[in-house]
Amino acid sequence: MAALQTRFFWTSSLVKHSSRTTQRTSLHCRNSLVPHSSWILHNRPLCLSSGHKTQETQPQEAERPAKKLFRELVSEHRAAIAQCITLVESTHRAKQAQARELLAEILAYLRKKTTENHGIPPSFRIGLTGPPGAGKSTFIEAFGKQLTEAGHKVAVLAVDPSSSYSGGSLLGDKTRMPELTRDMRAYIRASPTSGSLGGVARNTNDAIVVCEGAGFDIILVETVGVGQSEYAVADMVDMLLLLVPPAGGDELQGIKRGIVEKVDLILVTKADGELKIPSRRVKTEYTSALKLMRKRSAVWSPKVMQVSAVTKTGLTEAWDAMSEYRNIMVKYDLLLPKRSKQHRIWMWNHIRDNIMDIFRCHPDIGPELPRMEAEVDQGRITSGMAADILLGRFRARMSWHDNDL
Ligand SMILES: Nc1nc2c(ncn2[C@@H]2O[C@H](COP(=O)(O)OP(=O)(O)OP(=O)(O)O)[C@@H](O)[C@H]2O)c(=O)[nH]1
């Protein structure tokens, strides 16, 4: 356990701070209809500021709700974390204005902390993906406990859009991690219940910021290894881990090649008892598979390691590899640019999702869509022509016309 602590060299003076501006503008984009990103930073939402009184009429102004929540969050009031996450997930308009204000406060606070720490962000964001049954929650429970015992504060968040449809696996579900749930140095948040992957991903991105504001220095983001959620998580974290079970065939247990190309560390789970030998074989398979893949980074080659959450073997070594990765990213000034790039990706994802919704719900477009799709299906019109017609109709009805641009 001492090893876990002493090898955690995060404060390097080698790194220069490089991407504050990009982070600031992109992470705030809470609503794609906001006209300019700086508006959020420099103006309080109109609905809140309109009732502002002068000192003469109201000498003791009540503390604004977002300000109060922020103060409680950074003072590490435990209840404030859930309140803040609920606020940033809210779809209520007035609450969204408060959420913007809260996130702006947290981001400013985190920027300050990053600057004070020579440009190194105060948290390490680690994504965990893997097929159902790979042993993710058991690993998080054992690994998370080791980290908290070594003095870290660990937040566990989840990206699982399937849970909102099927009521099925609730990642981050407290019953799956009983010890970590009771641990005061840990915080576990089940998957948000809002619908689409885009919505869930957006909530998770904001929840990461809240947890960082609350002082969690390790943020574990768990996802199911199905659908698109595993790709989404890759763009939310500093490092991506793939957990694979020791059983399976020659096809790398059906794990998509695409995700293997994105991972930074592969952990073959359940390396204990009778599963020790299959686990070693799977490790060899993945090591060979990685050698055949195109090298993604000049500074880091993904590793494959064996772990057992039951016997707790390999956990310290896995943490050492994670710390090494982070230290390398910091040393070569790659961590903040990686985050900036991710924030930009998500800003455009949210804008795209919102604009698609506006387009589909437009009164001149929505009713036309089934007919247009049928025409395209039957080959009466090309897909390009159909898109041109619909977009032309949409553009004609928007308040901004080509002449205004
Ligand atoms: N022998 C052994 N079994 C393990 C280990 N880790 C997990 N398991 C078992 O593997 C099964 C699945 O573990 P989970 O942690 O629930 O796996 P998961 O990836 O979170 O699965 P989902 O909840 O379906 O996504 C359980 O029966 C665990 O007891 C391990 O290190 N060794």
Atom index in ligand 1 nearest the CA of residue 309 equals 31
Per DSSP, helices labelled H in 214-260 are 229-234, 257-260
258 pLDDT more than 90: no
353 pLDDT more than 70: yes
Say how many Å lie between the CA of residue 201 and the centre of ligand 1: 25
310 C-beta closer than 6 A to ligand 1: yes
For 173-221, write each residue's pLDDT tens digit.
556 788 998 999 999 987 655 556 666 778 888 999 999 999 999 999 9
270 C-beta closer than 6 A to ligand 1: yes
Indicate the average pLDDT of the chain: 79
Q: What integer pLDDT is reported at residue 162 of this predicted model?
A: 57
* CATH architecture assignment, domain 64-118: Up-down Bundle (1.20)
Q: Is-contact 270 311, C-beta < 8 A?
A: no
5 pLDDT more than 70: no
Q: Specify burial of residue 73 (Cβ count, 10 A radius: 0-12, 13-18, 19+).
A: buried
For 370-397, write each residue's pLDDT tens digit.
999 999 999 999 999 999 999 998 888 7
For 35-83, write each residue's pLDDT tens digit.
333 333 333 333 333 334 444 455 556 778 888 999 999 988 888 999 9
Candidates 285, 312, 266; CA nearest to 128 is: 266
Say how many Å lie between the CA of residue 262 and the centre of ligand 1: 23
160 C-beta closer than 6 A to ligand 1: no
Q: How far apart are CA 41 and CA 99, in angstroms?
A: 12
Percent pLDDT > 90 in the chain is 44
* Atom 12 (ligand 1) nearest CA: 133
List the chain domain ranges. Answer: 64-118, 120-332, 362-404
Per-residue confidence at 13, pLDDT binned at 50, 70, 90?
Answer: very low
Q: Please tell me which residue, 155 or 189, carries the higher pLDDT value.
A: 155
* Atom 4 (ligand 1) nearest CA: 270
Per-residue confidence at 30, pLDDT binned at 50, 70, 90?
Answer: very low
308 C-beta closer than 6 A to ligand 1: yes
Does residue 215 come out as left (phi exceeding 0), alpha (psi in the -120 to 50 range) or beta?
A: left
Candidates 203, 189, 236, 187; CA nearest to 89 is: 203
Complex ipTM value? 0.97
**Of 129, 137, 138, 269, which is best to mutate to test ligand 1, by the most ligand atoms within 8 angstroms of its C-beta?**
138
Beta strands in 292-371 (DSSP E): 303-306
Q: What integer pLDDT is reported at residue 217 of this predicted model?
A: 96
Q: How far apart are CA 167 and CA 256, in angstroms?
A: 25
User: What is the pTM for the complete model shown?
Assistant: 0.78
Domain 120-332 has CATH 3.50.50.60: no
